[in-house]
Amino acid sequence: MQFLTIQSPAKLNLHLRILRRRTDGYHDLVTIFQKISLGDTIRIQKTRNDFRLTTNCPGLETGENNLITKAYRLLQTKYPGLGGVSVRLHKRIPLGAGLGGGSSNAAHFLLGMKKLFNLRISKPELIRLGTRLGADVPFFLLEKPRAIAWGKGEKLLPLETRSRLWFLLLVTRQGLSTKKVYQNLRERVPPLALTKEKRIAIILCSFFETKRIREAVGLAENDLETSAFSLRPSIPKSIKALRTAGASFVLMSGSGSTVFAVSANRKEIVALAKNVKLRALSYRKLICHSLNN
């Protein structure tokens, strides 16, 4: 095999609680990750040279700061005789959107390299490598559509999903820095209890699986919203636009700037998309669905 093409899906955070600030600068959290049908395409081809990454996205760094490049360098360290590759990344996931595009790209590149070069690396080893690249990377390496995550996001409980959820995403080119959102976050005193928050996440996942969306509304939260709202006032305005149009479940994904509405019914999401008035907001609408087993 000389090349392969793989899909790299985005994710939504269907729930996100910040428990406490850690001494290493990260935060302990509990979240529900959900893969969605919006995604990028990665083509990896063997070459004689070292490494080359190109993309259709003019604003994307392709040098040593790109997570795909970093992933290749990590593999080079582990496998000194690793061959060269040319990588073409076709981006559809917006940058700085809270949709995990960079993490997904890095994870699926690692999975692709394992297959292309027949690397003898176990899933736990691969996840340890992924953790060095970013807190969201291990979820994408699981190759499961949904998971509850805690710690920095690297501790995972994968979940089986058969019910399809539909989403209306409001996305913008005005990306938001995850680092700045966390730096702007007020420290929680006292911290939340991990056991209780994991239990709530499990209940929420049960609601999503049985399509009890209205019951999930009262439990689902994103603790990063307040910080993101102060940095980007257009985010709460876009949430208001969804609610005004009739959406019951509305949340920001990750650290923003994407916001989304959830429904168990595609027709309901299509109707919502028609009703949402964005006016002067620099957002556009995307309809997508959850990925299942």
CA distance 242 to 247: 6
Total structural domains in the chain?
2
218 and 100 part of one domain: no
126 and 9 part of one domain: yes
Supply the pLDDT for residue 26: 87
Average pLDDT, the chain: 96
Domain of residue 23: give its range. Answer: 3-158
7 and 149 part of one domain: yes
Supply the pLDDT for residue 192: 95
Supply the pLDDT for residue 178: 94
pLDDT of 293 over the 90 cut: no
User: Of 11, 35, 91, 144, which residue is the catalytic one?
Assistant: 11
Q: Which two tokens stand for residue 263?
A: 């429904």
pLDDT of 175 over the 90 cut: no
Supply the pLDDT for residue 135: 92
Q: Which residues contact 91 (CB under 8 A, 6 or more apart)?
A: 40, 55, 56, 57, 60, 101
Average pLDDT on 275-281 reads 91
Which of 124, 158, 192 is the last residue in one of the domains? Answer: 158
12 and 154 part of one domain: yes
Burial class (CB in 10 A: 0-12, 13-18, 19+), 278: middle
Supply the pLDDT for residue 1: 85
136 and 188 part of one domain: no
63 and 108 part of one domain: yes
Inter-residue contact 95 to 175 (CB < 8 Å)? yes
- Tell me: the pLDDT tens digits for 29-42? 999 999 999 999 99
User: Which residues lie across from 86 on neighbouring strands?
Assistant: 45, 52
User: Of 28, 40, 91, 136, which residue is the catalytic one?
Assistant: 136
- pLDDT band of residue 143 (cuts 50, 70, 90) is confident
Average pLDDT on 146-154 reads 96
138 and 18 part of one domain: yes
Average pLDDT on 136-161 reads 95
- Tell me: the pLDDT tens digits for 221-243? 999 999 999 999 999 999 999 99
Which of 158, 184, 203 is the last residue in one of the domains? Answer: 158
CATH code assigned at 61: 3.30.230.10
Which of 139, 158, 177 is the last residue in one of the domains? Answer: 158
Beta strands in 48-188 (DSSP E): 51-55, 84-90, 146-151, 155-159, 166-171
Average pLDDT on 177-189 reads 92
pLDDT of 171 over the 90 cut: yes
181 and 150 part of one domain: no
Supply the pLDDT for residue 158: 96
Average pLDDT on 49-61 reads 94
CATH code assigned at 266: 3.30.70.890
9 and 154 part of one domain: yes
Supply the pLDDT for residue 280: 82
24 and 147 part of one domain: yes
Supply the pLDDT for residue 32: 98
- pLDDT band of residue 279 (cuts 50, 70, 90) is confident
150 and 176 part of one domain: no
238 and 132 part of one domain: no
User: Which residues lie across from 43 on neighbouring strands?
Assistant: 5, 88
Give yes or no: 136 in active site: yes
Task: Quote the percentage of the chain above a pLDDT of 70.
Answer: 100
- Tell me: the pLDDT tens digits for 201-212? 999 999 999 999
